[in-house]
Amino acid sequence: MPKRSPDHPVDARKRRASLPPACPAPDVATPLLGGLTPAQFMRKYWQKKPLLIRQAIPDIEAPLSREALFALADNDDVESRLITHFRRRWALEHGPFSPDELPTPKTRQWTLLVQGADLHDDRARALLERFRFAPDARLDDLMISYASDGGGVGPHFDSYDVFLLQVHGKRRWRIGAQRDLSLQEGLPLKILANFQPEEEWVLEPGDMLYLPPHIAHDGIAEGECMTCSIGFRSPSTNELTSQFLYWLAERGADNGNGKDTLYRDPDQPAVAHPAQLPAALVERVGGVLAKVRWSDADVSSFVGSWLSEPKANVVFDTPEKPLDEARFVAQAAKNGITLDRRTILLYDSRSYYLNGEQYLLKEARKWLPALADRRSMDGKRFVTLSHDSCVTALLHEWYRAGWIRTGVLA
C-alpha cells in the first residue's frame, strides 16, 4: 500500500475531528504560533528556546474584566497573590483580597496574580483549548495578572513552559538565557540576583511570548495591563519520585508475593544497649525494600491518576435540580454534552483517568477517547450511544457529580 503523506486530506480530517474546534491541527500553519504549524513549533521551540509571536490572537479580549478578576481574587477558593514594589521594596501577600484591600489602579508598581482562572470561568477555560496541541497531561493552568503602570513580579525564572499572552495594555519583556540563576536573599519572592537580559520587546494585545523553563525574564507594565500565562508543568525528578512512592504505598506495595507481611525478627538476641539501632534490623528493612516491585502498568496507573487529579481547591458544582436519567438523555440528545471546565479526563490504551481515578476503558473505548480529546460530544453522536443503558447511566452519574454538563459551548 502506498504511504500517505502527512498532509493527506483523509489523515488531516481525522486529526482535525479529534481536536477541539479552537485548537490548530498538528500540520496546519497557524497565526497562534507565528505561521508555524504546531508540529514545527514543538520540534523547533518547545522546551528549547523562546519565541516571540506578534499578533498570535489578533482580536484577543481579556477573558475577564479588571473588576471580574478582582472579584475572583476575593474568593476563598481562588489562589491569588499581590506583589508590590513600593519604594523599591518587594512585598508579597496571599489572597483572598476584597477589592478595597487592593491598591487603586492609579497607584504605580503593583501586580495581582490570579492562578487557575480556567477553573472558575468558561471564557478563561476556552482560551486553553487553543493550546491543546501540547498534551493535556502537561497542562497546568491559566494565570491572569493585572498590573498597574510599572508593575511586575521582578526578574525571575520559572520551572514551567509558559505562553505569556498580552490581553490588555502593554508590557515590556526582557529575557535572557543566563546560567546564573542565583536568587537575591531575604526577599519574600524569587528575584534573580544578577539579571542579564539579552532581548527586549514591548508586547501589545494579541502578542505572545513562549518561554521554556529556566529562561530568565522580567515583564514590566507600561500603563495598566493584563497578561495571561498559559502554564505547562514540568515535575521535578524529586516530585515524581515522592509522588510515585506515595501512590505505591497507598495502593499497597507488592513485596513480591502479593501479600502484606509483618516485619519479623525471631532471632533477635537480648541487648545491653537498647537505644542502639541493630545493624540486622536495618539490613532486614533493606531486604524488604529491595523486593518492592512495580510494572509498566503501575507506572501508567500512577501517571494517569496523578496528572488527572484536580487541584486541592477544586470543588465541582452539582446540578441544583438534577434531571433524572430519562430527561438527561433527552437533553443530551438535543444539545450534546460538555466536560465541566474543572474536569480532567485522560486515557491510554487500557484505561481512562477521570479526576484522579482510574477506570478500565473496556466498552467505553468506542466513545470516550473522542469525548476526552474534544471535551464535548454533540447531540447526534450522543444519540448513537443512547441505546446503550450502561453508557447513559454512566454519563448521568458524571452529570450528577458535576463532571459534565448538557449543551456544547459555542
**Minimum CB distance to ligand SIN smaller for 222 or for 373:** 222
- The correct pick among 37, 80, 111, 376 for binding ligand SIN (CB under 6 A) is 111
**Minimum CB distance to ligand SIN smaller for 207 or for 340:** 207
Contacts with ligand SIN in 13-72 (CB under 6 A)?
A: none
Residue indicated by cell numbers 479580549: 61
**Minimum CB distance to ligand SIN smaller for 92 or for 288:** 92
Name the residue with the smallest CB distance to Co ion. 158
**Which range, of 24-32, 86-94, 112-120, 152-160, touches Co ion by CB under 5 A?**
152-160
Q: How many CA atoms lie within 13 A of 406 on its CB side?
A: 20
- The correct pick among 53, 153, 345, 409 for binding ligand SIN (CB under 6 A) is 153
- Residues in binding contact with ligand SIN, number by CB under 6 A: 11
Instruction: Please give the grid coordinates belonging to residue 136.
Output: 493535556
- Contact, 176 vs 200, CB < 8 A? no
**Minimum CB distance to Co ion smaller for 187 or for 401:** 187
Q: How far apart are CA 171 and CA 188, in angstroms?
A: 23
**Minimum CB distance to Co ion smaller for 158 or for 373:** 158
Q: Supply φ then ψ for residue 173, to 5 degrees.
A: -105, 135
Single-letter amino acid, residue 255: N
- The correct pick among 206, 219, 304, 336 for binding ligand SIN (CB under 6 A) is 219
Q: Does 205 bind ligand SIN (CB under 6 A)?
A: no
Residue indicated by cell numbers 488527572: 308
Name the residue with the smallest CB distance to ligand SIN. 145
Q: How far apart are CA 135 and CA 347, in angstroms?
A: 11
Residue indicated by cell numbers 504549524: 37
- The correct pick among 74, 136, 149, 158 for binding Co ion (CB under 5 A) is 158
Helices (H), ranges, 105-208:
122-129
**Minimum CB distance to ligand SIN smaller for 116 or for 152:** 152
Give the shortest CB-55-to-ligand SIN separation in angstroms: 19
Q: Which of 138, 156, 142 is nearest to 232 (CA)?
A: 138
Give the shortest CB-111-to-ligand SIN separation in angstroms: 5
Mode of pairing for the β-strands spanning 345-347 and 351-354: antiparallel
Give the shortest CB-152-to-ligand SIN separation in angstroms: 6
Helices (H), ranges, 235-278:
237-251
Instruction: Please give the grid coordinates belonging to residue 264.
Output: 519479623
**Which range, of 17-25, 150-158, 258-266, 268-276, touches Co ion by CB under 5 A?**
150-158
Q: How far apart are CA 110 and CA 77, in angstroms?
A: 22
> How many other C-beta atoms are found inside a 10 Å radius of the C-beta of residue 66?
14
Q: Supply φ then ψ for residue 359, to 5 degrees.
A: -135, 150
**Minimum CB distance to Co ion smaller for 157 or for 353:** 157
Binding mask 123-152 for ligand SIN (x = CB under 6 A): ----------------------x-x----x
- Indicate which of Co ion, ligand SIN, none lies near residue 229 (CB less than 5 to 8 Å, by partner kind): ligand SIN
Q: How far apart are CA 341 and CA 308, in angstroms?
A: 13
What's the chain's length in residues? 410
Beta strands in 273-350 (DSSP E): 337-339, 345-347
**Minimum CB distance to Co ion smaller for 26 or for 213:** 213
Instruction: Please give the grid coordinates belonging to residue 99.
Output: 477589592
- The correct pick among 229, 301, 331, 351 for binding ligand SIN (CB under 6 A) is 229
- The correct pick among 11, 77, 129, 158 for binding ligand SIN (CB under 6 A) is 158
Give the shortest CB-26-to-ligand SIN separation in angstroms: 27
**Residue 13, class by beta-carbon neighbours within 10 Å (0-12 exposed, 13-18 middle, 19+ buried)?**
exposed
Q: Which of 296, 147, 166, 271 is nearest to 227 (CA)?
A: 166
Distant-in-sequence, close-in-space partners of 405: CB < 8 Å, separation ≥ 6: 337, 338, 340, 399
- The correct pick among 84, 178, 227, 351 for binding ligand SIN (CB under 6 A) is 227
- Indicate which of ligand SIN, Co ion, none lies near residue 227 (CB less than 5 to 8 Å, by partner kind): ligand SIN
Tell me which residues touch ligand SIN (CB under 6 A).
111, 145, 147, 152-153, 158, 162, 217, 219, 227, 229
Tell me which residues touch Co ion (CB under 5 A).
158
